[in-house]
Structure 1
Amino acid sequence: MKIGHLVESLDPHGVTAALVDLAAAGPPAGIELVVVALAPSGDPAVAAGLDRAAATSVELNVAPWDPRAVRKVVEAFRAQGVDLVHTHGARADVVGAAAAARLRTPAVSTLHHIHDQPADRADRLRRTAKTLARKRFMTRTIATSALQRDWYHRVAGSTTGLSVIPDGAADPGVGTPEEAGRLRRGLGVDEHEVVAVSVAPMRRGQGQDMLLDAIAEIPEDEPLTVVLGGDGPLRPWLESRVSADDALSGRVAFRRRSDPVALLRAADLQLHTTRHDTMPRVLVLGQGTGTPAVATRVGGIPEIVTRDTGALTPVTSSRIADDLLRMVRDPELRARRGAAARTRFLDRFEAAGWAGRLADVYRSALGHSDAPAAAELDTPEPLHAGRV
């Protein structure tokens, strides 16, 4: 099956990073990917990754509300001979549904966000209309979490035509003592130091400010070093705050250009203290490296991190500090949760399994005789659906 994925751009920090992993895992499941981006990204990383996985990528230059968008997408997909269109994102949903209709192919859409707090009644009506249109024009909708399923049910009234399939990831593998040693030498700490890593993007709502508040509560004699990896608009402010505080500057290091997976493989703990999130990919990757997590109990995070694989904390710095300190002081707990995290990743999130579940959806939408019936792919209704 040749599946045409329509995305906004080949942004390495967006959904297309996961599509690179899907392209590599797809062939054994009978899937070949064609990824069409509505707008150029200016970053060649995703296109290069798709090329290595023998997938095709096409970058269009379609401005928002360009009336030629549907025609250009139809031409791109027709040239590649796609069998089904799979859309990701608001604009891609609209353009992709119209393109699939012209191509006379089924259309599948993945929900990547939810809008649970509309600004006013008009906004609520617009979002409800979009969801009902999705239900009408898409052969199937995929939610990546039960949280999204429940939101969809509240808006659409049922989960008919909806499957819950979490995004997967290629197996990052567990870290080695050599990797851990290199990170510690780079930080100037000894082998007994517990190294905790946060690789969340440094932007509003991701909670690094709250994490710094929690770290400030940890006693100075605890063997803990925290690494903030990655980048974002808040990085200069975070660096300034750390440098101005002696307690933080002695314990917190920044690694802007480090590979987040390499950091996770070398770490003892992963920290993800966001104020809101749906299904953060970095937590999935952390589980793949066998790294236990301390994460806030928000959004879809409890569908990734469980009590067996890490600590789920309320969104308060004091509770984050308490759970972090417990993990620092208990190496056996870290080891047990790390092993459970690795097992959970392989069972639930590894890319081959993800590709297989998507292949069932595609084969069903295309009417293959050996495919599951559509009703078999529907997710169960929420537990208390009648009370919504």
Structure 2
Amino acid sequence: MRVLQLVTQDRGGPVDHAVEVAVELARRGHESHLVGPPGGRLAAAAAQGVAVHEAEVTSKTDLSGARAVAAVVRRLRPDLLHLQDRRAGLVGRVIGAQAAIPTVYTLHGVPDQLAPLVPGNLEIAPARARDRLAYLRLERLLASGPRTAVVTPCEALAQYARQHVGIRPDRVHTVYNGVGGDFLADAPRVATHGGELGALWLGLMEPVKRVADLVAATARLPQVHLTLVGDGPERAQLEGAVAAAGSGGRVSFAGFQAEPAPYLRAADVFVLCSAAEACPMALLQAMACGTPVVATRVGGVPEIVRHGMDGFLVDPGRPEQLRSALAWLAADLPLRRAMSISARRRVLERFAVEHMVEDLLDVYARTMACVS
């Protein structure tokens, strides 16, 4: 099968996901292509047997970028287009309809304005009437075309797609994100001492991630050393909050890291403190490395983390619950070790890249076989 995936971002969860899919498809003998902006992720895919094509779509109205993608599609004539972010979903489905090529769009998440429509998520930004027009009605229209399907990485997002977007239930398929590569390559690192805790956060420093809640929680935990891996618009604000709390000696800002696996393996616990999520790749990557987690009970997170087994689930926007969970793990080394083993086994059994691609291939086959 010749599969062409399209991304319009150069980093982030959807891009990591697309690379994992592309590499596994190539490993299985399929003709795997990846189209996107130039950058390290495309190079990483190429090094593992994926045919990569540079084409940059900078906005929804970037006609020259869309034409560049369309030219690649015309040249390759793939059996199926798999679209991996919101902009790709718009451009790719229009191109697919024009070229009579089946399309699969992975709905990785929702706009901040619509976050509360996904079970468990908090309100992030005020919703306006035009948001429903721009996102819900447009997505319903794009998903109504011939031989097209929508993949969601969790049941919480599938419920949103069916109930709020109004996509036909038979066109919505849940395929959980999968992890492979370096995250599963080595044995997990387990802490060898009790009483102290190396906590790690990984992601984009933006309001929805609620990193300030984690900074506040750890400020009153002298036994916790916090590493923040990532960058973003809230970094300066977070640095100020750390300085004001007087916890600068226990908080490290590591910046963006293209290869986060070593940081995840070196941590005693991974913390996800977001107000809204779907199926976060960073969470799965941490668990794959055998790192116990403390995560907010939002979106699809409760579908991944078993409370008390792989880690702890807490309510979003409640720093005191984060603090209690971290203090408990700092004081209980045997529990951390048990959660480390359980978290890694959970990924190997349910969220490995092999399981994900097997499910995707089933969706591809069904979509290509559709007549309407």
**Normalized against structure 2, the TM-score is what?**
0.85
Change (3 A) 1:61 1:321: closer
Which residue matches 2:46? 51
Q: CA deviation at 1:13?
A: 2.2
In structure 1, distance between residues paired with 2:135 and 2:240: 40
Change (3 A) 1:16 1:61: closer
Change (3 A) 1:62 1:228: closer
Change (3 A) 1:74 1:341: same
In structure 1, distance between residues paired with 2:344 and 2:278: 21
Q: Number of matched residues?
A: 351
Deviation per residue, 1:147-184 (Å, 9 max, x gap):
1111112131642211100121214135566x979xxx
Code of the aligned partner of 2:340? G
Q: CA deviation at 1:284?
A: 0.6
Code of the aligned partner of 1:279? C
Which residue matches 1:150? 159
| Alignment map for 1:324-343 (pairs within 5 Å) | 324-343=326-345
In structure 1, distance between residues paired with 2:335 and 2:56: 51
Q: Percent identity?
A: 28
User: Match for 2:323 among 321, 324, 340?
Assistant: 321
Secondary structure at the aligned position of 2:170 is classed as: coil
Deviation per residue, 1:234-276 (Å, 9 max, x gap):
2233223323433x12322232255421111111111111122
Deviation per residue, 1:6-47 (Å, 9 max, x gap):
2223x122412222222221135443321223xx45xx2112
Code of the aligned partner of 2:44? G
Which residue matches 2:139? 131
Which residue matches 2:3? 3
Change (3 A) 1:32 1:227: same
In structure 2, distance between residues paired with 1:253 and 1:135: 44
Q: Higher mean Cα deviation, 19-28 or 307-316?
A: 19-28
Instruction: Indicate whether 1:18 and 2:17 are aligned.
Output: yes
Q: Is the 8 A contact 1:230 1:260 kept in 2?
A: no
Which residue matches 2:80? 84
In structure 2, distance between residues paired with 1:328 and 1:62: 46
Change (3 A) 1:271 1:63: closer
In structure 2, distance between residues paired with 1:280 and 1:113: 10
| Alignment map for 1:306-317 (pairs within 5 Å) | 306-307=306-307, 308-315=309-316, 316-317=318-319
**Normalized against structure 1, the TM-score is what?**
0.82
Which residue matches 2:119? none
Q: Is the 8 A contact 1:111 1:144 kept in 2?
A: yes
Code of the aligned partner of 1:293? V
In structure 2, distance between residues paired with 1:93 and 1:125: 16
Q: Is the 8 A contact 2:296 2:315 kept in 1?
A: yes
Code of the aligned partner of 1:240? G
| Alignment map for 1:53-202 (pairs within 5 Å) | 53-62=48-57, 64=59, 65-67=61-63, 71-114=67-110, 115-116=114-115, 119-137=127-145, 138-155=147-164, 156=166, 158-171=168-181, 172-173=183-184, 174=186, 193-202=196-205
Query: What RMSD, in angstroms, separates the aligned Cα atoms of the two structures?
Result: 2.6
In structure 2, distance between residues paired with 1:203 and 1:274: 10
Which residue matches 2:227? 227
Which residue matches 2:271? 271
Q: Higher mean Cα deviation, 12-21 or 334-343?
A: 12-21
Deviation per residue, 1:99-151 (Å, 9 max, x gap):
22232221111111223557244432443322321331152110111111111
| Alignment map for 1:239-254 (pairs within 5 Å) | 239-246=239-246, 248-254=247-253
Q: Is the 8 A contact 2:26 2:49 kept in 1?
A: no
Q: CA deviation at 1:325?
A: 0.8
Secondary structure at the aligned position of 1:129 is classed as: helix
Q: CA deviation at 1:92?
A: 2.0
Change (3 A) 1:255 1:61: closer
Change (3 A) 1:199 1:121: closer
Change (3 A) 1:229 1:129: closer
